[in-house]
Structure formats: structure tokens, C-alpha cells
Amino acid sequence: MEKLQVGILASGRGSNFEAILKNIQQKKLDAAIQVVISNKASACALEVARENNIPAVHISKKQFPEQELFDEQLLLVLKNYNVNFVVLAGYLKMLSPIVVKNFKNRILNIHPALLPSFGGQGMYGQNVHQAVLDYGCKVSGVTVHLVDEEYDTGSPVLQRCVPVLEGDAAEDLARRVLKVEHQIFTEALQLFARGRIEIDGRRVKIRP
Ligand code: GRF
């Protein structure tokens, strides 16, 4: 079984990346982070990578306005750092079909709600939690899913519920959900690392 050599793509704060890194350091996850890539030069995720001596690369639309060149560059960097598994940890750009094809069933995203509810374009950050509260939901949760060519439509790998409590504001729910994100992203990655994932159509089966 080939070791998971992860490329992290992140646009912002990078707390999921940090949680994954910590779990690798504490030997709870059998993987290596080869590179962190961001479309935002100022992303905290890039700073955290540098502090931990992990290559940090900025690839933006400004540098590569043509989608084809952007994709080429992204694939080149992933290849140069020997990445065999891609993790979207708060990456706000949609991946092109060519990138998805190159890492078929080897790209995971995390979404701070129970998909297919409260997903899709524009559903990120506080928008998600506000929408859950506005709907009056009693539970929300986290979905770790495979990435396909659309927003948030790939098969779920793991999902976990998080209760909505009376009086929750979006920030309260976000905080509770984020704690669970930090646990289950690693759990999902460890399933891949251990070769316990079998993909059967839309179903992601977990071998014992
Ligand atoms: C998380 O809430 C994740 O579910 C979503 O983007 C956010 C990223 O947070 N995809 P962070 O940058 O990992 O702190």
C-alpha cells in the first residue's frame, strides 16, 4: 500500500490543515504533507506550512489568468512534490475536470454541514451555519466527501451530526462544527491510508 503523500489546498485560516498536521505528528494519521498550496498569498495556511518546514506555494488566477495554464501549474506543483492524494481544507476555488481526473477518487473536501443539504456555490463559512439556523434545523454536522467536478456533490466518505442548540448564533454553531471537522478529516484520511475504502458507484464503503 502506497503511503498517503498529501497536497493540501487551502484559501484561508487553515485550521483543518493544522489539525491534520498535528495528528500526523502525534502518529494518529499515517500520511505525509508534501506541500501546501493556496490561491491567496496571505493565507494563514501558507504561514503555518512555512513554520513547519512544509513547502508553501502560492498559485493564483492573477499569475495564471488562463484556466488551462492555472491547471497546468497546479498539476505540475502537485507532481513535483510527489503528491498522490489531495485534501481541500477550506479551498474556495472549484477544481477543473482535468485536475479531478488526475486524482480520481483521491481528492477529499470537508463541508461544515450534512450534504446534500446546505451545500453548493456560495455555501461556505458563516453562510452555511446561518442557513441551517434560518431553516430551523435541530441538527447540523460535517461531511467529508470525494471531490468531483461540481460543488459539494461528490460521495460522502464520513458524516457526523452536530446538535443545534437553543440560542445558537452562527458563530456558536460554527465553533461546535469545527471541532468535529478537526476529528473526522483525519479519520477519513486514515481510512484511505489503511486501504479501507472501497468505491462502489456513489457509495463509499468502509472495509472492517
Ligand atoms: C471549514 O469550515 C471547512 O468545512 C470549509 O472551510 C472551512 C475551512 O476552515 N470547507 P479552515 O481554513 O480549515 O480553518
pLDDT, tens digit, for every residue of 118-168?
Answer: 999 999 999 999 999 999 999 999 999 999 999 999 999 999 999 999 999
pLDDT band, residue 181 (cuts 50/70/90): very high
Q: What's this model's pTM, rounded to 2 decimal places?
A: 0.97
Q: How far is the CA of 16 from the centre of ligand 1 (A)?
A: 6
Q: Is the CB of 12 under 6 A from ligand 1?
A: yes
88 alpha carbon to ligand 1 midpoint, in Å? 9
Describe the strand order of the beta sheet including 85-88 as a list of residue ranges.
56-58, 31-38, 4-9, 85-88, 107-111, 139-146, 156-163
| pLDDT value of position 2 | 85
Q: Is residue 181 in contact with ligand 1, taking CB distance under 6 Å?
A: yes
**Bridge partners (DSSP) listed for residue 156:** 145
Do the Cβ atoms of 164 and 129 come closer than 8 Å?
A: no
Any atom of ligand 1 within 6 Å of the Cβ of 141? no
| Beta strands 156-163 and 139-146, pairing class | antiparallel
200, exposed or middle or buried, with CB in 10 Å at 0-12, 13-18, 19+?
exposed
